Amino acid sequence: MKKILGALLLLTSTCTSIADASATSLAQVLTGEQRSADHKARDLYRHPEQTLAFFDVQDTMTVVEVWPGEGWYTELLAPYLKDKGKLYAAHYFSKTDEPYFKKSLDKFVKKIHEHPELYGNVEITALEPPKILQIAPDNSADRVLSFRNTHNWMSIDQAAAVYVAMYKALKPGGILGVVEHRYNLFKPQNKITAAGYVSEDDVIALARNAGFEFLEKSEINANHKDKKNYPKGVWTLPPTGALNDPDHALYEAIGESDRMTIKFIKPK
């Protein structure tokens, strides 16, 4: 009996150690050398650990990161998922005619190829509506994550199509996580004058129309200093800092934009 109890205690201790190691792995990635000092400094506004926890991203999951840009979140997701999970990066189309898209994709691909030990298992797919909309195989993903993209899709009248594409990629029961610049409540939105900001109601409507059910929203990425009334819209604030004028210090003091953080579920 003592031997059995001892074995059970050892097994319990081993399982606990494994669970603890898994629980701290994201924290280890956050402090990893793959992240520049500039990227780590933005954690103050982007709250990646809390955001990924809110979206319940586990290291065994298949995750799609939509329009990852230069790969700020990819630097976290790829190392976190590389051993037991899968990461799709739905970037711009390689044959795009848009110079900005081409430059962004080339920079991202260079990062991936230069560090195969971190990013070798990342699969790059394409999203360039309305031409290319399959971001991953249908019903394959546990999570689809979009960080500050919806305003871009709205500006070209393709947001509805992209939300349908994200719905198709998810497994039944999978979660869509959206972070987006948040427009003022109770104020009619115009996609031109809003200048990068989107209302929560519009995001929720887009998701529901695609078939999602609303789950929950969080104030993790809120910034109530953001007054949303700047000459260059959201791009007036860091990290873009579109205005090179005496008010630069003022915008630095405000910090990055006020952001909604919302999750939706694809019904089973």
pLDDT of residue 1: 45
Quickly state the pLDDT bin for 73 (edges 50, 70, 90): very high
pLDDT reading at 168 higher than 50:
yes
For 59-140, strand residue ranges (E) read 62-66, 86-91, 123-126
Query: What count of residues does the chain have?
Result: 268
pLDDT of residue 247: 73
- Is the whole model's pTM more than 0.85, yes or no? yes
pLDDT reading at 76 higher than 90:
yes
pLDDT of residue 188: 56
pLDDT reading at 114 higher than 90:
yes
Please write the tens of the pLDDT for every residue from 2-31: 444 344 334 344 333 333 334 348 999 999
β-pair partners for 263: 177, 216
CATH class of 36-265: alpha beta
Going from N- to C-terminal start, the domains of the chain cover: 1-31, 36-265
β-pair partners for 216: 263
Alpha carbon of residue 29 to chain centroid: 16
Please write the tens of the pLDDT for every residue from 169-217: 999 999 999 999 999 765 555 554 458 999 999 999 999 999 999 999 9
pLDDT of residue 249: 85
pLDDT of residue 62: 98
Count of helix runs (H) and strand runs (E) in the chain? 11, 7
Please write the tens of the pLDDT for every residue from 205-264: 999 999 999 999 999 999 999 999 888 899 999 998 877 666 778 899 999 999 999 999
Among 266, 186, 180, which Cα is nearest to 217's? Answer: 180
Average pLDDT over residues 161-176: 98
Greater confidence, 79 or 186?
A: 79
Residues 104-137 as b or e (16 or more Cβ within 10 Å = b): bbeebbebbeeeeebbeebebbbbbbeebbebbe
Percent of the chain with pLDDT over 90: 78
